[in-house]
Every structure is written in C-alpha cells, then in structure tokens.
C-alpha cells in the first residue's frame, strides 16, 4: 500500500474509532479510554489500535467496533482491529515522578 494512502486510511480509522467510542459505545469502560494511535499493516488487513486502558473491554467489543467503524469508513475491505495496551504514557508519568523526587532531594 502506498505511504500516502496508508496514512490517509490510518487517519480515517483513528477518527472513526474515536467517533464510535464517543457516540455509540454504551460500555462505560470504553467511554473512558483514549485511542492513542492506529497502525495499519502494509497489506491493509490488520489495524493495530493503541489504547490507554481497559484492554479486556476493547477485546470484548471488537466485533461491535469493527462493524460500526466499517459503516463510517469507505473501504473495500475493513481491516481486522487488534487492540494493544500502550504503557508509554504510564511509563512517562513514572519517569517524571522519579525525576521530581531526585530534583526535590537535591534542593534540600
């Protein structure tokens, strides 16, 4: 898949998944989570969706989300959605906390 097309489809999928979560998801566990990014495979058959929380809730709702997103995105073949918990933000918060502790110890 061409890079420009892949980037456009990635952006469309991101917007569609976010929109479905905001408007159609009735599960409170899904409503509170954030989609960080999407990564479409080179052949367009799989879309990795990186989320901040509630991975089991996303895995349970995969069929619903795929169907709802397919109605919003104009693709010949809807990719399979694979949800992945992204621990990057959590790790970054922990590093900032540790740096603040070190800075606080140096000032004393």
pLDDT band at 65 (very low <50, low <70, confident <90, very high): very high
In degrees, to the nearest 5, what angle opens at C-alpha 31 toward C-alphas 25 and 33?
130
Percent with pLDDT over 90 in the chain: 43
Phi–psi pair at 43, nearest 5 degrees: -90, -5
Exposure string (b/e) for 40-76, b if CB count within 10 Å is 16 or more? beeebeebbbbbbebeebbeebeeebbebbeeeeeee
pLDDT at residue 52, as a whole number = 85
Percent with pLDDT over 70 in the chain: 96
pLDDT at residue 70, as a whole number = 94
User: Higher confidence at residue 25 or residue 55?
Assistant: 55
Single pTM value for the model:
0.76
pLDDT band at 106 (very low <50, low <70, confident <90, very high): low
SS (H, E, C) 52-101: CCCHHHHHHCHHHHHHHHHHHCCCCCCCEEEEEECCHHHHHHHHHHHHHH
| The pLDDT of residue 7 is above 70 | yes
């Amino acid at each position: 898949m061409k890079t420009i097309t892949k980037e456009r489809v990635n952006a469309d999928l991101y917007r569609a998944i976010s929109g479905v979560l905001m408007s159609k998801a009735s599960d409170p566990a899904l409503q509170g989570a954030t989609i960080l990014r999407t990564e479409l495979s080179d052949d367009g058959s799989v879309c990795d969706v990186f989320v901040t929380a509630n991975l089991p809730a996303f895995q349970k709702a995969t069929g619903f989300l795929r169907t709802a997103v397919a109605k919003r995105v104009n693709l010949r073949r809807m990719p399979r959605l694979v949800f992945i918990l992204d621990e990057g933000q959590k790790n970054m918060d922990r590093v900032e906390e540790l740096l603040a502790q070190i800075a606080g110890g140096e000032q004393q």
